[in-house]
Every structure is written in structure tokens, then in C-alpha cells.
Structure 1
Amino acid sequence: MNWYTGNTTFDTVLTIGFVFAALTIIGGAFMPQTPYGRFGTDKWGMALNPKFGWWLMEIPATVVFLWFYLQGPRTTELVPMILAAVWLIHYANRGWFFPLSIRVAPGRKSTFSISIVLSGMFVTAIHGYMNATWFNEFAPHLTRDWLSDPRFWLGLVVYYCGFALILHSEWVVRNLRDPAKLSAGTESDYKIPYGGGYRFVSSPTYLGELTAWTGFSIMTWGLPGLVILLISAGNLIPRAIATQRWYNEKFPDYPQNRKAIFPYVL
């Protein structure tokens, strides 16, 4: 992987991304549970509805990506188009379907502070810019020949294993809550999930994210993918450990054989 492209804007954003990744990893040691979702608090500014907060946080990954990708010189070439499709399918779920499908109990306190949303928007914006321009302008290896490179296929398989784990884990959690009972206020907001990745870890969605971005980094063979993998790891690994602790404290019958994020390890 080449460190610098020679383009001042891209190289500056890439450097900012690595600095942010380092700060996220260091910050995770002192604040393991980023304050959103079950760890939400209004101490970080105005709190937003979780559906709206998630959508705002993820939307730059679609909008910024499309803006820069469609202005690139290789927009209609095969490999950039394949990678753009992978990207857009990922964020069709992450930025659109997932937020809209969240089942929220009536009257539940808002869980996204505006500062967390803005931080997330910053990450997804630079993420979208770096990868759109990497696919379309600054990665000369992403030609038809790349389709015969084992790194492409290894990365694609690893990515979709992670993506499948994300989708199934989200489906399990979504179906824990009966919409009618939630509306009537007769169902608990949180339950113990079972099945799929939950047989092994408390946060299979996070494991899926890390697996997907590992595969993505290999498949694209570029530092932009590594940046988001490091940021995700710095955020999700400490959060998974905090989630494991939260489940054990909230549910006396929580399965003790589950690890936090990596089966049999952590």
C-alpha cells in the first residue's frame, strides 16, 4: 500500500483520518462506552431520537461518497463500479434501512447527543471522500486485472462474511421486540438475544463490522480502508466489553460462556 498519493487534499484527509483513529483508540481506554444507544446521555448536548440520530450520523457516507465518486475520471470502469456497488449496498443498510427499522418504545428517552452525531458525521464524511476518490482516481491497481488478484477475492469473501453477520445480528435484535407490545408499553426495551453470532459473543454486530472492514481493506488494498478499520476497532472493542458488562449486570441469567466480541478470546 502506498502511503501518499501526491494529492495534497487526499493526503491531508488521510492523515487526519489516522490521527482521529489514534485518538479514538486512546480515548477508548478512558471512555469505553461511547454515549449513544444503551449508554446514551444528554450530558454531551441535545439528545436526538435514535432513528434520526443514526440516520444523520451515517448519511454522509452515502452523500459524500456519491458526490466525489461521480466527479472522478474512472466512474464507469468495471472495478471502481463494483467497489462502489459494495459501498452503496453496505450503506443502504447502515444509513437507511437500519435506522428506519429500529423499534423504539414510546416515551423512551432520546439516546443520541448532538455532539456524538456530529463526530459520527465527520468520520463518515472523510470515510466517504477517501474511498470515493481512492476507487476512482488514486488507486491505479484497481483495473480489470485486479479481478484476478487473490487479494480481491479474499477480501470480498471476508467482507461478505462480516456483512452477513451484521444483517443477521440486526435481524435477531430487531425481532426481540414485538411492535404491538412496545406500543402498549407491555414489553421490556431490552432482552437477551439468542442465536447466530449471539451463541458466541455479546456483540456480533460489532464483530461483523470489524470483519467486514478487514475484508474491505484487503479487497481495495488501500489505506482509506485501514483508517475506518482502526476507527471502528478503537470504538467498538471497548464498547463491546462495556456491553458485556452491562448485560451481566442487567440479566442474572445471562449466558456466561459468551465472550464480548471475539469468540473464545475476548
Structure 2
Amino acid sequence: MDWYTGNTTYDTVLAIAFGFAAFVIIGGLFAQSPYGRFASTSVGFNLDPRLGWWLMELPATVVFAVFYLSGPDRFEPVPLVLAAIWVLHYGNRGWFFPLSIRQMPGKKSTFNVSVVAAGVFVTALHGYLNGAFFSNDYKNQYSTDWFTDPRFLLGLVVYLGGFALLVRSEAIVRNLRDKNDPGAAEYRIPFGGGFRFVSSPAYLGELIAWAGFALLTWSLAGVAIFLITAGNLVPRAFATHRWYREKFADYPADRKALIPGLI
């Protein structure tokens, strides 16, 4: 199979990623992944959210490093910059975020092991596809001219904007509850930042970031992770919006689910 890079292993894994994206998109129409506010302690085996998130995201760091460092172009300028963007994203998502989760004291573990397994599969795919693509430059597109290419420049701006929205939104939610107060309410209405406009600005930021990433890398690997992310987060954003409205009678009526002013 040489329809994309000509590397049989890489192209096979890429096809698997797109197949899984279709599965996630269809599955997301019927049910939400059992974590966070949609978690259940009645089905399956659950982990502490901090451990679950860390395990789920770990392959994005480890697998990426293994395949990136094994490629012939690993020390070239453009691959190094792309790797730095990766490290920025997963330094936050895979390491800072899990460690910063404020679990309510005494609450049962709620991060379902099925979510961990699915997440490990996705992040391992993701890590391999991007690590190998960057450091092998299969499409011969990552000369230093790429730094002035409009796709890279626009994609970088989009990515950084989405990443900033994601980080800011997660910080607002994290600070809603004092980790030292056992009696604090588990859920409260968040305000400020992107929450002025939508119920799930972190999800919106994640989607914007991956759209920018797909553009700045100009790769089908970037498209695949955007589709997988959208398949999971878009229906989850609508479910979250409904959950807030049902739980809080004073929830802001003009706040949309995911896209400001639209839906």
C-alpha cells in the first residue's frame, strides 16, 4: 500500500487510525466515554482519575520519543520545531494535567479502565504516526522553507490560540474547588474566559488546537487525530451542556454548548 508515504507499515497504521476515527464518530452518537461527570462506579474496574489520565496519555510521550529519535531527520530544524510543539502539548496534557486534577476527598475511583485502554491505543497510534512522520519526512516537505509556508504560519497561530484556550479553561475548572476543603461542592458553574460563551471551552480549545496542528504539519496523521478528537468531544460537549442545564437552575441561558453564538 503506497497511496500515502510508500512506507507499508506507516500507511497501514494510518489506515487503522482513520478506521478508528470512523468508529469513534459513530460511537459518540450513542454514548459518552465513562470518565469525568459521565463516569460510573457500577460497571467495570475504575482507577483514580490522576492515574487513569497519566496512563492514558503516556504513550503519546514514550511512543513519540522512540520513533522520532529513530528517524534520520530527527535533528533537522523543522522536525525539531514540530517535536517541540508536540512536547508543549503533551507536557501539559500528559503530565501537568493529570497531576493537577483535584479529586474530591473520599470519592471513589471513577476513571474506567476501558477509557484507559482506548486512550492508550489512540495515543500510541498518535505518537507513532507523528514521531515517524516528522523524523523521516516521508513527503519531503520539511525543508527550512516550511517555516515561511502559509500553511505552517497559519496553522501555528491557530494551534497556539486553541492551546491557550484549552489551558485557560482547564485552569478555571481546576480552581472551582479548593483541594483542601473536603466539604466543597464537587461541581459548580464556571465563569470567565471561554465560559462566558460556551459550556465546554476546553473542548473547543482542543479542537482548534488539533485543527491548527493538522494544518501546520500538513499531514493525514494530523487529520486523523482531529477526527478522533472531534468524534469524542463534540457529542460530549452537547451532553455536558445538557447536564449543566439540568443540574443548575441558574445556569446562564445565553451560553452555547461548543461554538460561541451558534450551537
TM-score normalised by the chain length of structure 1: 0.96
Helix, strand or coil for the counterpart of 1:62? helix
Partner of 1:111 in structure 2? Answer: 110
* Structure 1 unaligned regions, length at least 5: none
> CA shift at 1:242, angstroms?
0.4
**Is residue 87 from structure 1 mapped to residue 86 from structure 2 by the alignment?**
yes
Partner of 1:76 in structure 2? Answer: 75
Helix, strand or coil for the counterpart of 1:30? coil
Aligned partners of 1:44 and 1:116 also within 8 Å: no
**Is residue 218 from structure 1 mapped to residue 211 from structure 2 by the alignment?**
no
Q: Which string of whole-angstrom CA distances, capped at 9 and with x for unpartnered residues, describes residues 224-254 of structure 1?
A: 0000000000000000000001111111101
Give the whole-Å Cα distance in 2 for the aligned partners of 1:109 and 1:237: 27
Q: Which has the higher contact order (CA 8 A, sep 6+)?
A: 1
Partner of 2:44 in structure 1? Answer: 45
Give the whole-Å Cα distance in 2 for the aligned partners of 1:56 and 1:190: 25
Over 3 Å counting, the alpha-carbon distance change for 1:3 and 1:161 in structure 2 is farther
The match for 2:246 among 244, 249, 264 is 249
Q: Which string of whole-angstrom CA distances, capped at 9 and with x for unpartnered residues, describes residues 47-102 of structure 1?
A: 00000000011010000000100000001000000000000110000000000001
Give the whole-Å Cα distance in 2 for the aligned partners of 1:62 and 1:44: 30
Partner of 2:35 in structure 1? Answer: 36
**Alignment of structure 1 residues 1-266 onto 2, 5 Å:** 4-31=4-31, 33-42=32-41, 44-137=43-136, 138-181=138-181, 185-266=182-263
> CA shift at 1:136, angstroms?
1.1
Q: Which string of whole-angstrom CA distances, capped at 9 and with x for unpartnered residues, describes residues 157-181 of structure 1?
A: 0000000001100111111111221
CA-atom RMSD, angstroms?
1.1
Structure 2 letter corresponding to 1:220 = T
Give the whole-Å Cα distance in 1 for the aligned partners of 2:209 and 2:52: 23
Q: Which string of whole-angstrom CA distances, capped at 9 and with x for unpartnered residues, describes residues 128-185 of structure 1?
A: 000011111123101101111111000000000000001100111111111221xxx2
Helix, strand or coil for the counterpart of 1:24? helix
Aligned partners of 1:217 and 1:225 also within 8 Å: yes
Aligned residues: 261
Give the whole-Å Cα distance in 2 for the aligned partners of 1:115 and 1:101: 22
Helix, strand or coil for the counterpart of 1:193? coil
Aligned partners of 1:10 and 1:130 also within 8 Å: yes
Structure 2 letter corresponding to 1:68 = F
Give the whole-Å Cα distance in 1 for the aligned partners of 2:72 and 2:218: 19
Over 3 Å counting, the alpha-carbon distance change for 1:157 and 1:3 in structure 2 is farther
Aligned partners of 1:207 and 1:261 also within 8 Å: yes
Helix, strand or coil for the counterpart of 1:68? helix
* Structure 2 unaligned regions, length at least 5: none
TM-score normalised by the chain length of structure 2: 0.97
> CA shift at 1:45, angstroms?
2.1
Q: Which string of whole-angstrom CA distances, capped at 9 and with x for unpartnered residues, describes residues 179-213 of structure 1?
A: 221xxx22101110000000000000000000000
Give the whole-Å Cα distance in 2 for the aligned partners of 1:3 and 1:213: 24
Give the whole-Å Cα distance in 1 for the aligned partners of 2:139 and 2:87: 19
| Bigger mean CA deviation after superposition, 153-162 or 141-150 | 141-150
Identity %: 61
| Bigger mean CA deviation after superposition, 137-146 or 186-195 | 137-146
Q: Which string of whole-angstrom CA distances, capped at 9 and with x for unpartnered residues, describes residues 16-65 of structure 1?
A: 0000000111111111x211111112455210000000001101000000
Helix, strand or coil for the counterpart of 1:262? coil
